[in-house]
Amino acid sequence: MPVAIVQMVLGPLQNNVYLLADEESKDAVLIDPSFEPERQAAEIWQRGWNLRQIWLTHGHFDHTQGAAGLRKLFTPAPLVGMHPEAQAWALAYGEKLNFGYQMTPLPDVDIRFFHGQQLSLNPEADAPIVEVREVPGHSPGSVIFYCAQAGAAFVGDAIFRESIGRTDLPGGDYPALLAAIRAQIFTLPEDTMLLPGHGPASSVGYERAYNPYVS
């Protein structure tokens, strides 16, 4: 099954929004819907894909803003997946920490993520190809999505090219983030592409060698 990855850069914080799709079945998952859900939907329609699910790496508003809008644009509405601790964080702090942006409330969560969970692009039809790994420290309930078949991990704001996620917001924990990166990201195969929530892609091997915080 050939998997495709599409990256969009959207919203005032230049978020990377990713599509992961099976080009045969046309089943697609959208990871971290930032602002501009209409543009995200247009990318999906243009490819003839069916949006089955929306997966959230963590509860920060810039990664979740488009979820409610996307659910309205597709029938049946895509399922929303999120870690329970990330959902709790978003409900407690999402409105307060909006940095002045207009907020769209988070929709209901259908799939509760946990460490080691195996995910399919279409839970009703496909075999699982993605593993959920908990990577706490940037924000409570942060997870990454590792797809061995694509040779890629969607890492949210846990790690960036030569940088790491901020830990100064409520629930942030710097030592926990360093430990989680080492245990959950640096243990992936060296050539695994790291696809972060902001900025350029990297790889496990590159960050192990050059990341100034955790190498």
Residue 131 interacts with Zn ion (CB under 5 A): yes or no: no
Residue 197 interacts with Zn ion (CB under 5 A): yes or no: yes
In the complex with Zn ion, the residue whose CB is nearer, 166 or 182, is 166
Footprint of Zn ion on 35-54 (CB under 5 A): none
How far is residue 86 CA from its own chain's centroid? Answer: 12
Q: Which residue is nearest to Zn ion (CB)?
A: 60
Residue where the block lists tokens 């978020």 = 15
Residue 136 interacts with Zn ion (CB under 5 A): yes or no: no
- Residue 171 Cβ vs Zn ion, minimum distance, rounded to whole Å: 11
- Residue 93 Cβ vs Zn ion, minimum distance, rounded to whole Å: 11
Residue 157 interacts with Zn ion (CB under 5 A): yes or no: yes
CA–CA distances in Å: residue 130 to residues 17, 36, 80, 121: 17, 26, 15, 8
In the complex with Zn ion, the residue whose CB is nearer, 86 or 121, is 86
Burial class (CB in 10 A: 0-12, 13-18, 19+), 178: middle
Which of 30, 35, 56, 60 forms a contact with Zn ion (CB under 5 A)? 60
Report strand pairing: 143-147 vs 130-134.
antiparallel
Task: Give the residues lining the site for Zn ion (CB under 5 A).
Answer: 60, 62, 157, 197
